[in-house]
């Protein structure tokens, strides 16, 4: 899935009209497409132009570090970080629950902070470090929060669990795990339909009190 | 979501240049914009990412506190200066959304966020805000969350922000840049009532952008409170919310600032109640009278009549908390 | 027994906490394409045209499938009443799947689907249960009514109450959206999906395409929640099967959150009228219960929302009536505690109202009217430790501190109230087959085609096996989630531990016997497996065994019980309600794996909190359309809404239901909870809310 191409970084100069696309397309030797905008690209497809033109035109290079490994990808600007993780990189540990920022199942860390990956455009985290549930354990050794979720049975169906765990780790790192009440409030962005909340709170309290680095 | 072009801005001037063209939108945190794009409410041709502009700072000014438009909601809510000088703002921010969303959402984005009215969101329903002239689905529909103040025959939606309620109460100024240069607008004048143009949420021109807000120094820090009444205890929009700042001397209110959320198309400042409270003693009875004054002109619809009772109760309760008589 | 007393942690837990277990939408086949479902935007009528020109020419689009171009499905012939996806132009409800757009990426499929333009010929629709009350029918013919003693006897009682209770639509809203990945290989098909009843779904697919069993494989290794919604082959899944067959590529169809409200069932709303009368000293003399629910125009679903009234209390005169009305809605389905959850809210609220009318402690009232045998069938209970639940629950909760007079207790500015309610749910079991193989490598593998939607099916099966097969518990594997495994019943009705567990128990016992036979002994005592395999030069010993249905069903009536004690805080002027304490006391027979059983009880209580205080699907009946079909507007509990929940097990075996002595607990743990909250709110405020959910607007 990875694409180690030699395309230029997207030009960030705001005053130049679509330079990245222009360069990109030139290098792709699709000179005829120079004047195209995405709306035109759709029209091009409508006119049954070679679909590869439209496809190449719509994608942008994205470099980011995921769980410590560098990735160079081509993505559509509209692709969310969540869909890139799940569909392009097969990192399916990050879950899609609502796709609208209303459940927290897609929580990942970007540069160490928990965010909602379904509302994060992939292209906007270019150059950043992303940590997903797959990046928490060190080899066979589970992260203390994963151990605590296991021990306290902090889940049933398991679908919201990766988001819960990513959020729980952040909750401690942020300093928002100082009481049961505070944990509940700061874990409320992660909805669990099975209702494992009390066990989740207990798991977080144990990790916090255990003082192990998270 | 329709495909679009994406560019990064490196200067406010570049942003102004970009947004002067139709079909171009600014993206910052994206929590509201991406949501809208997924719902098909808007389909921009081009997004200008402003996250790399140096507009994140929270700095004291001669007579106030300046907060950059890109400061994250989570960062503002925990900032030492904010906690010390304007704890009401921190309380309001922490009552909004979820920790993850607050880690993405910016101050400017929060100000610009649009209503959560279900008829606005559902593209097969009529909505004058989304599509002028199609009618208001909420007026005779399910309007439990809707306005009791300042609505028009065109729209009864409410502004969903918590942060803005605090900023309205705190007499903040919105700092705006446009082709004609920088200007300031009182926060209470920034958002609009729907009147005949519900498609417009505020007075920001299409070719302007928000650079930040400034909150003047005040004496409310010790006696501030943000009360949010909602259907669950967290991660839910307000049925009614109240921001209170009191300048108390002994038991006497020197001045009061009050604003409500969940009741109008804009953060709803309670000027009459403030006037009434100035010079009065902090008693539950005075609070109740202030609350009754605040409710003048309120009008309910089929499903939100409860707000006529809930709102004054919330005002009274928030005043009690702020004054410490609870 | 070679496991700790509190049981074992989840055998698939490590896979879940590392995110490495794969749910239905997470199988990356080469050449996989993506399907987006287009929903109807009217509630009733006919499709007159579909304009998909823009869609078809959008980048990446592979196909647009609807009734206009779908092939004839052989299984659509005949008298089935469910939605025959892409068969015709009829619209039965708003949000019905009407087309499938297939593209090479998710984003492209989703966008292209938004370009489909559909023209309709609209007809007048009705989605409001109130409007349907005048137009009801008996879902089970004469079986819809029940009478013992005299009808409406409550009317002549010295103390009586009459009330109407309302419960709204509940949408399961499992966190995992429904998904099906379908892959055809000639006339063989393999699907990856969410299925609570794998063999049932296999049969449905066989029927749809007229295929032999060996040509249909259903995989459902893990389920991201289902709560009753995961059994049928829903219309979206039929679309995936048809689409994959037409384009000849592996196809993944995932419905979105909004579609979860109309495409995969929901709990019917209900309007229930109850009359209840007692003697002055609190002995029930009559109960009348009339309930109405809703179903679809095209398919009947009935859950029986009066049956519990027939059995929960000792009362000489009981008459109940169950009716349905047909609306232009998608068909409802089983939802956690189906039937009981709805009826017991009304019944246990009414009991509280009557106890208060008698000025009697509602727990004493319940004890006074305890049914010592099943009053409907005149059968003894196989076991009933409800009284024990009352005792241990009341003690732990501090029920004796409850104020009989409501509205008097205030703490930190909040009104405080206590409430209690009964939950009850049948403890049945169904036939099940399991295969057990113990190999020379010391691994015991047990297989059955059951599912796990979250309770921890494999975990409890390993626990059951470990109590019989004396090998290290980590050497016991349980495989589920595939239709080619030995036949298991569906994972519903709180029957899995009892049904599949019995098969596991019996197959393990048979395995021991087989080993002992090889060793020239009889009985099922601990064999020396390794030595016997070695001596007989066997790579493994294997047994397949089918266990039976509920034993002695004609001699005993079997139920699990749960008593919930709830403390609430109610804000006196804002009307907000917080559940601050919960004690759940449970008679689930012998508790086989306390760690996971406890989680199920907690989960039921959390569902109860949601049902009591926040949940309800709302439609704008002008459009016949949901106005809260998302997780920001359709609320259920967040972490902040849930206190610690104390779980107490009576933990006494049921001597009849199965050899382990267990009674299923998944359903019973939600039953009655909402009434306990409503009763506690009454105790706190003196206000009786009979219309769920109890949101601030109803108390302010």
Q: What pLDDT is stored for residue A50 in this prediction?
A: 44
- C-alpha to C-alpha distance for C171 and C629, rounded to whole angstroms: 9
User: Is B72 within a domain?
Assistant: no
Same domain, C257 and C270: no
- What is the distance in angstroms between the Cα of C414 and the nearest Cα belonging to chain A? 17
Question: Whose structure tokens read 């189906």?
Answer: C338
- What is the distance in angstroms between the Cα of A185 and the nearest Cα belonging to chain B? 7
Point out the domain boundary residue: C504, C530, C547.
Answer: C547
Can you tell me the mean pLDDT for A152-181?
98
Q: Which residues of chain B have a CB within 8 Å of the CB of A99?
A: 38
Same domain, C444 and C583: no
- C-alpha to C-alpha distance for C332 and C319, rounded to whole angstroms: 26
User: Is B82 within a domain?
Assistant: no
- Span B93-142, pLDDT tens digits: 999 999 999 999 999 999 999 999 999 999 999 999 999 999 999 999 99
pLDDT category of residue A136 using cuts at 50, 70 and 90: very high
Q: Are C311 and C371 in contact (CB under 8 A)?
A: yes
What CATH number did the domain enclosing B236 receive? 3.30.390.50
User: Is C3 within a domain?
Assistant: no
Q: Which helix (H) or strand (E) holds B95?
A: none
**Average pLDDT, 10 consecutive residues per value, chain C (700 residues):** 86 98 97 98 98 96 98 82 91 98 98 98 98 95 96 98 98 98 98 98 97 98 98 97 98 98 98 98 98 96 91 97 98 97 98 98 98 96 98 98 97 98 96 98 98 97 97 97 98 96 98 98 96 98 97 96 98 98 98 98 98 98 98 98 98 97 97 98 98 98
- C-alpha to C-alpha distance for C112 and C124, rounded to whole angstroms: 30
Same domain, C215 and C83: yes
Q: What pLDDT is stored for residue A41 in this prediction?
A: 40
A66, A156, A168, A205: best to mutate for the C interface, most C CBs within 10 A? A156
Nearest to B232 among C107, C413, C641 (CB): C641
Same domain, C253 and C115: yes
Give yes or no for C637 touching B (CB within 8 A).
yes
User: Is B258 within a domain?
Assistant: yes
Give yes or no for B63 touching C (CB within 8 A).
no
Interface touch B229/C413, C-beta < 8 Å: no
Same domain, C48 and C160: no
Same domain, C417 and C566: yes
In the predicted structure, residue A24 carries a pLDDT above the cut 70? no
User: Is C17 within a domain?
Assistant: no
Question: Whose structure tokens read 């607008």?
Answer: B185
Interface of A with B (CB under 8 A): 10, 12-15, 18, 20-21, 37-39, 41-42, 58, 60, 76-78, 80, 99-101, 104, 107, 113-116, 119-121, 123-124, 167, 170-171, 174, 176, 184-186, 188-191
Task: Write out the two tokens for B146.
Answer: 């809707």
Ordered alpha helix ranges (H), C467-579: 496-518, 529-535
Interface touch B229/C107, C-beta < 8 Å: no
Q: What pLDDT is stored for residue B243 in this prediction?
A: 99
Residue B35's Cβ-side half-sphere holds a number of Cα atoms within 13 Å equal to: 22
Kindly list the partner chains of chain A, i.e. chains with 3 or more CB atom pairs below 8 Å: B, C
- What is the distance in angstroms between the Cα of A121 and the nearest Cα belonging to chain B? 8
Interface touch A42/C456, C-beta < 8 Å: no
Point out the domain boundary residue: C239, C261, C283.
Answer: C261
User: Is B243 within a domain?
Assistant: yes
By CB neighbour count within 10 A (0-12 exposed, 13-18 middle, 19+ buried), where does C72 fall? exposed
Give yes or no for B233 touching C (CB within 8 A).
yes
Q: Look up the domain containing B38 and give its range.
A: 5-48
Q: Which residues of chain A have a CB within 8 Å of the CB of B99?
A: 114, 167, 170-171, 174, 176, 186, 189
User: Is B103 within a domain?
Assistant: no
Same domain, C155 and C99: no
Same domain, C621 and C522: no
Interface confidence (ipTM) of the complex: 0.98
What CATH number did the domain enclosing C56 receive? 3.90.1170.50
User: Is B308 within a domain?
Assistant: yes
- What is the distance in angstroms between the Cα of B122 and the nearest Cα belonging to chain A? 14
Can you tell me the mean pLDDT for B275-279?
98
Q: What pLDDT is stored for residue C82 in this prediction?
A: 84
Nearest to C618 among B140, B142, B237 (CB): B142
Question: Domains in chain B: how many in total?
Answer: 2
User: Is C24 within a domain?
Assistant: no
The set of residues, in sequence order, having a beta carbon less than 8 Å from that of C439 and lying 6+ positions away, is: C445, C533, C539, C540
- What is the distance in angstroms between the Cα of B213 and the nearest Cα belonging to chain A? 24
C204 is catalytic: no
Nearest to A14 among B14, B27, B104 (CB): B14
- What is the distance in angstroms between the Cα of A32 and the nearest Cα belonging to chain C? 18
Q: Are C330 and C300 in contact (CB under 8 A)?
A: no
Question: Whose structure tokens read 């029918």?
Answer: C137
Task: Write out the two tokens for A149.
Answer: 């979720």
Interface touch C176/A58, C-beta < 8 Å: no
Same domain, C251 and C276: no
What CATH number did the domain enclosing C436 receive? 3.30.365.10
- Span A9-23, pLDDT tens digits: 333 333 333 333 333
Can you tell me the mean pLDDT for B315-319?
98
In the predicted structure, residue A106 carries a pLDDT above the cut 80? yes
Same domain, C598 and C466: no
B1, B5, B71, B79: best to mutate for the A interface, most A CBs within 10 A? B5
Interface touch B125/C623, C-beta < 8 Å: yes
Same domain, C620 and C644: yes
Q: What pLDDT is stored for residue A66 in this prediction?
A: 98
Can you tell me the mean pLDDT for A115-144?
98
User: Is B17 within a domain?
Assistant: yes
Q: Look up the domain containing C572 and give its range.
A: 141-169+266-427+555-698
Q: What is the DSSP letter of B72?
A: B
Residues belonging to chain B: 326
Point out the domain boundary residue: C547, C576, C610.
Answer: C547
Nearest to C620 among B142, B231, B310 (CB): B142
Question: Domains in chain C: how many in total?
Answer: 3
pLDDT category of residue B326 using cuts at 50, 70 and 90: confident
Residue C511's Cα: distance from chain center in Å? Answer: 33
Q: Are C246 and C71 in contact (CB under 8 A)?
A: yes
Q: Are C320 and C291 in contact (CB under 8 A)?
A: yes
Interface touch A18/B5, C-beta < 8 Å: yes
Task: Write out the two tokens for C67.
Answer: 């009734």
Kindly list the partner chains of chain B, i.e. chains with 3 or more CB atom pairs below 8 Å: A, C
Task: Write out the two tokens for B212.
Answer: 């930040």
Same domain, C503 and C611: no
CA distances in angstroms from B9 to B13, B17, B48, B55, listed in the order given: 9, 10, 6, 12
Interface touch B6/A116, C-beta < 8 Å: no
User: Is B10 within a domain?
Assistant: yes
**What domains appear along chain A, each with residue ranges and CATH number?**
1-58 (no CATH), 62-135 (3.10.20.30), 144-210 (1.10.150.120)
């Amino acid at each position: 899935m990875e694409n180690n191409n030699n395309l230029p970084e997207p030009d960030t100069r705001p005053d130049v009209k679509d330079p990245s696309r222009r360069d990109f397309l030139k290098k792709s030797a699709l000179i005829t497409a120079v004047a195209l905008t995405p709306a035109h690209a759709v029209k091009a497809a409508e006119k049954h132009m070679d679909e590869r033109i439209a496809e190449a035109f719509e994608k942008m290079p994205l470099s980011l570090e995921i769980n410590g490994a560098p990735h160079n990808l081509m993505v559509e600007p509209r692709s969310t970080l969540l869909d890139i993780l799940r569909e392009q990189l097969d990192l399916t540990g990050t879950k899609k629950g609502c796709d609208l920022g209303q459940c927290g199942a897609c929580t990942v860390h970007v540069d160490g902070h928990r965010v909602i990956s379904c509302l994060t455009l992939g292209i906007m985290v270019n150059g950043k470090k992303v940590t997903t549930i797959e990046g928490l354990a060190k080899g066979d050794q589970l992260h203390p929060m994963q151990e605590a979720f296991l021990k306290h049975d902090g889940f049933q169906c398991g679908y919201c669990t990766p988001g819960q765990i990513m959020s729980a780790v952040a909750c401690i790192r942020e300093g928002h795990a100082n009481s049961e009440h505070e944990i509940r409030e700061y874990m409320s962005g992660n909805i669990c339909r099975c209702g494992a909340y009390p066990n989740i709170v207990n798991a977080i309290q144990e990790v916090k009190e255990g003082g192990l680095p998270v | 979501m329709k495909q679009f072009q994406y560019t990064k801005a490196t200067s406010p001037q570049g942003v102004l240049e970009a947004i002067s063209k139709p079909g171009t939108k600014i993206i910052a945190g994206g929590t509201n914009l991406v949501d809208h794009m997924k719902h098909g409410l808007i389909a921009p041709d081009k997004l200008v990412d402003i996250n790399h502009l140096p507009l994140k700072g929270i700095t004291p000014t001669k007579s106030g506190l300046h907060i950059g438009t890109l400061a994250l909601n989570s960062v503002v809510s925990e900032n030492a200066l904010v906690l010390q000088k304007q704890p009401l703002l921190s309380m309001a921010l922490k009552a909004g959304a979820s920790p993850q969303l607050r880690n993405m959402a910016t101050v400017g984005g929060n100000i610009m966020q649009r209503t959560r009215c279900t008829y606005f969101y559902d593209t097969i329903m009529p909505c004058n805000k989304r599509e002028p002239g199609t009618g208001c689905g909420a007026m005779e529909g399910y309007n439990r969350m809707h306005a009791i103040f300042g609505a028009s025959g065109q729209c009864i939606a409410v502004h969903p922000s918590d942060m803005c309620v605090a900023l309205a109460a705190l007499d903040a100024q919105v700092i705006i840049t446009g082709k004609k240069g920088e200007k300031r607008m009182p926060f209470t004048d920034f958002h609009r009532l729907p009147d005949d143009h519900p498609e417009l949420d505020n007075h920001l021109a299409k070719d302007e952008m928000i650079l930040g807000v400034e909150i003047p120094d005040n004496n409310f820090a010790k006696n501030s409170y943000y009360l949010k009444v909602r259907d669950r205890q967290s991660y839910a929009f307000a049925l009614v919310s109240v921001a209170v700042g009191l300048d108390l001397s002994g038991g006497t209110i020197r001045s009061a600032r009050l604003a409500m959320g969940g009741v109008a198309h804009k953060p709803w400042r309670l000027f009459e109640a403030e006037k009434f409270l100035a010079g009065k003693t902090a008693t539950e009875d005075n609070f109740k009278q202030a609350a009754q004054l605040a409710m003048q002109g309120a009008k309910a619809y089929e499903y939100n009549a409860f707000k006529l009772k809930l709102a004054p109760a919330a005002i009274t309760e928030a005043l009690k908390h702020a004054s410490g008589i609870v | 027994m070679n496991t700790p007393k509190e049981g074992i942690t989840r055998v698939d837990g490590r896979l879940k906490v590392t995110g490495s277990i794969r749910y239905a939408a997470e199988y990356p086949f080469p050449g996989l394409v993506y399907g987006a479902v287009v929903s109807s935007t009217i509630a009733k009528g006919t499709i007159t045209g579909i304009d998909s020109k823009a869609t078809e020419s959008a980048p990446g689009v592979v196909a647009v499938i609807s009734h206009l171009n779908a092939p004839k499905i052989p299984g659509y012939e005949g008298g089935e009443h469910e939605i025959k996806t892409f068969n015709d132009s009829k619209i039965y409800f708003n949000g019905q799947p009407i087309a499938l757009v297939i593209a090479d990426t998710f984003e492209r499929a989703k966008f292209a689907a938004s370009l489909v333009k559909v023209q309709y010929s609209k007809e007048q629709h009705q989605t409001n249960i109130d409007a349907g009350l005048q137009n009801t029918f008996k879902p089970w013919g004469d079986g819809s009514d029940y009478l013992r003693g005299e009808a409406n006897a409550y009317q002549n009682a010295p103390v009586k109450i009459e009330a109407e209770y309302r419960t709204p639509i509940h949408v399961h809203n499992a966190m995992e959206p429904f998904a099906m990945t379908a892959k055809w290989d000639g006339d063989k098909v393999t699907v990856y999906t969410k299925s609570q009843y794998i063999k049932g779904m296999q049969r449905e697919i066989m029927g749809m395409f007229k295929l032999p069993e060996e040509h249909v494989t259903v995989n459902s290794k893990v389920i991201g929640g289902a709560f009753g919604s995961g059994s049928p082959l829903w219309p979206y899944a039929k679309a995936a099967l048809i689409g994959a067959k037409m384009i000849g590529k592996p196809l993944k169809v995932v419905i979105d959150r909004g579609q979860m409200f109309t495409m995969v069932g929901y709990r019917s709303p209900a309007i229930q009228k109850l009359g209840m009368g007692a003697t002055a000293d609190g002995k029930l003399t009559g109960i009348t219960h009339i309930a109405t629910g809703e179903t679809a125009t095209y398919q009947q679903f009935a859950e029986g929302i009066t049956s519990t009234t027939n059995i929960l209390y000792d009362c000489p005169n009981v008459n109940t009536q169950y009716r349905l009305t047909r609306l232009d809605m998608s068909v409802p389905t089983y939802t956690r505690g189906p039937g009981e959850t709805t009826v017991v809210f009304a019944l246990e609220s009414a009991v509280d109202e009557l106890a208060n009318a008698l000025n009697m402690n509602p727990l004493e009232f319940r004890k006074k009217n305890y049914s010592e045998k099943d009053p409907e069938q005149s059968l003894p209970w196989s076991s009933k430790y409800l009284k024990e639940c009352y005792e241990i629950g009341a003690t732990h909760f501090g029920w004796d501190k409850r104020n009989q007079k409501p509205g008097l207790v205030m703490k930190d500015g909040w009104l405080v109230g206590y409430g209690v309610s009964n939950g009850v749910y049948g403890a049945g079991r169904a036939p099940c087959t399991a295969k057990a193989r113990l190999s020379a490598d010391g691994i015991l593998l047990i297989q059955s085609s059951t599912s796990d939607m979250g309770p921890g099916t494999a975990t409890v099966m390993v626990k059951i096996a470990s109590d019989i097969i004396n090998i290290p518990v980590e050497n016991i594997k349980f495989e589920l989630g595939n239709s080619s495994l030995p036949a298991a019943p569906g994972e519903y009705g709180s029957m899995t531990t009892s049904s599949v567990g019995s098969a596991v128990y019996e197959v393990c016992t048979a395995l021991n016997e087989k080993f002992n036979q090889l060793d020239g002994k009889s009985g099922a005592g601990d064999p020396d497996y390794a030595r016997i395999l070695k001596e007989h030069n066997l790579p493994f010993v294997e047994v397949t065994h089918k266990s039976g249905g509920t034993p002695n069903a004609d001699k005993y009536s079997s139920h699990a019980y749960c008593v919930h004690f709830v403390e609430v805080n109610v804000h006196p002027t804002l009307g907000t309600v917080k559940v601050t304490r919960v004690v759940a006391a449970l008679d689930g027979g012998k508790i086989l794996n306390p760690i996971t059983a406890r989680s199920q009880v907690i989960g039921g209580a959390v569902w109860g909190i949601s049902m009591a205080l926040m949940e309800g699907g709302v439609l704008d009946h002008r459009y016949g359309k949901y106005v809260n079909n998302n997780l920001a507007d359709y609320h259920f509990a967040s972490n902040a809404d849930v206190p610690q929940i104390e779980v107490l097990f009576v933990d006494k075996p049921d001597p009849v239901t199965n050899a382990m002595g267990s009674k299923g607990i998944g359903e019973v743990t939600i039953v009655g909870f909402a009434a306990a909250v409503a009763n506690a709110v009454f105790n706190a405020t003196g206000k009786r809310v009979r219309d769920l959910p109890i949101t601030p607007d109803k108390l302010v």
